[in-house]
Amino acid sequence: DADVTQTPRNRITKTGKRIMLECSQTKGHDRMYWYRQDPGLGLRLIYYSFDVKDINKGEISDGYSVSRQAQAKFSLSLESAIPNQTALYFCATSGAGTGANVLTFGAGSRLTVL
């Protein structure tokens, strides 16, 4: 089984629908992240969490919300999806402490908003 599992892997939805992307990890890591990837822009951080009671906005959090249900689970929600949220979304985890953070990524969730 993968260390970081994302569901769904692919989703097509319509404008205005609520969407949830889920992420679970077996690494035992405290830190979890949600990124989106767009062609030519690299990965951009949406939200991150350093433990169950900690939630922080990244550089592009507008239109998104997250929930850290447990150490191993971090979900990303789009309350009312819009077409420019069409992207590839990645969940990642890392151990605590800066300076030596090797991220472990999930396989990605491709979201298309029509």
- Quick check: 107 binds another protein (CB under 8 A)? yes
Q: Is 99 exposed, middle or buried (0-12, 13-18, 19+ CB in 10 A)?
A: exposed
E strands, the chain, are 4-7, 10-13, 19-25, 31-38, 42-49, 56-57, 65-70, 73-78, 87-94, 104-105, 109-113
- Quick check: 106 binds another protein (CB under 8 A)? yes
CA atoms within 13 A on the CB side of 44: 13
- Quick check: 25 binds another protein (CB under 8 A)? no
Q: What part of residues 52-71 is at the interface with another protein (CB under 8 A)?
A: 58
- Quick check: 43 binds another protein (CB under 8 A)? yes
Residue 93 C-beta: closest distance to another protein, Å: 11
* Closer to another protein by Cβ: residue 14 or 44: 44
* Closer to another protein by Cβ: residue 77 or 105: 105
> Using CB under 8 A as the criterion, which residues of the chain lie in contact with another protein when the complex forms?
4, 35, 40-45, 48, 50, 58, 90, 92, 98-108
